[in-house]
Amino acid sequence: MTRILFLRHGPTDWNAEGRVQGQTDVPLSDAGRKSVQGWRLRHFAADWEWYASPLRRAVETATLLGADPARLHLDDRLKEIDWGDWEGAILKELRAEQGEAMRRVEARGLDMAPPNGESPRQLTERLAKWLAEVATRRRDIRAVCHAGVLRGAYTLATGWDMRRAAPLERGHAWAHLYGLGPDGALKPETLNIRLAECEPPSGYDR
């Protein structure tokens, strides 16, 4: 069994504002770049392959952590969930405006989907296809992705349905290590690995 380390990208201005990012291509903020430069991956082998979502905030994070841009594998299946009509909105304001209607949407767990957007179940399906593909390489992997992908990996590994709280840190400066079977199946090894001495505010990556 090989291993895969999932880590979320660094902070952006939209994170700081509490905006729904989704697949909007927001770069790291200046504070985010400085934060990532203080992260450490010293416990993981230097020859692990680098993968990342093609969104700028993930690519920048991987590069700042030492990934060679010429050898960085980018894959759309590592993108954040598509939040459709909600992208760019401030989550707190959105919940206040939509009230009970949004609470009903969020209560659907894996089948929650915003207008013209993607559900967590759809994200896990594309992530599972990526995992089955990279498992055939039999190489350890570091994957820079998004909060939704962290949730998707946990769902695939444990059967979590998003209807209850999970012991999973989704903020910036945290990583999660899984075993990766030859069929693409994930097995949790070490969750909630702190990458920095002080974790910055997580904001929202939705």
The set of catalytic residues is: 9, 80
Separation CA 44–CA 202 (nearest Å): 23
Sign of the torsion formed by the C-alpha atoms of 185, 180, 130 and 176: positive
Map residue 197 onto helix, strand or coil.
Answer: coil
Q: What's the DSSP call for residue 171?
A: S
Longest dimension (CA), the chain: 49
Looking up tokens 């905030």 gives 57
Separation CA 124–CA 80 (nearest Å): 11
Residue 159 Ramachandran class (φ > 0 left, ψ -120 to 50 alpha, else beta): left
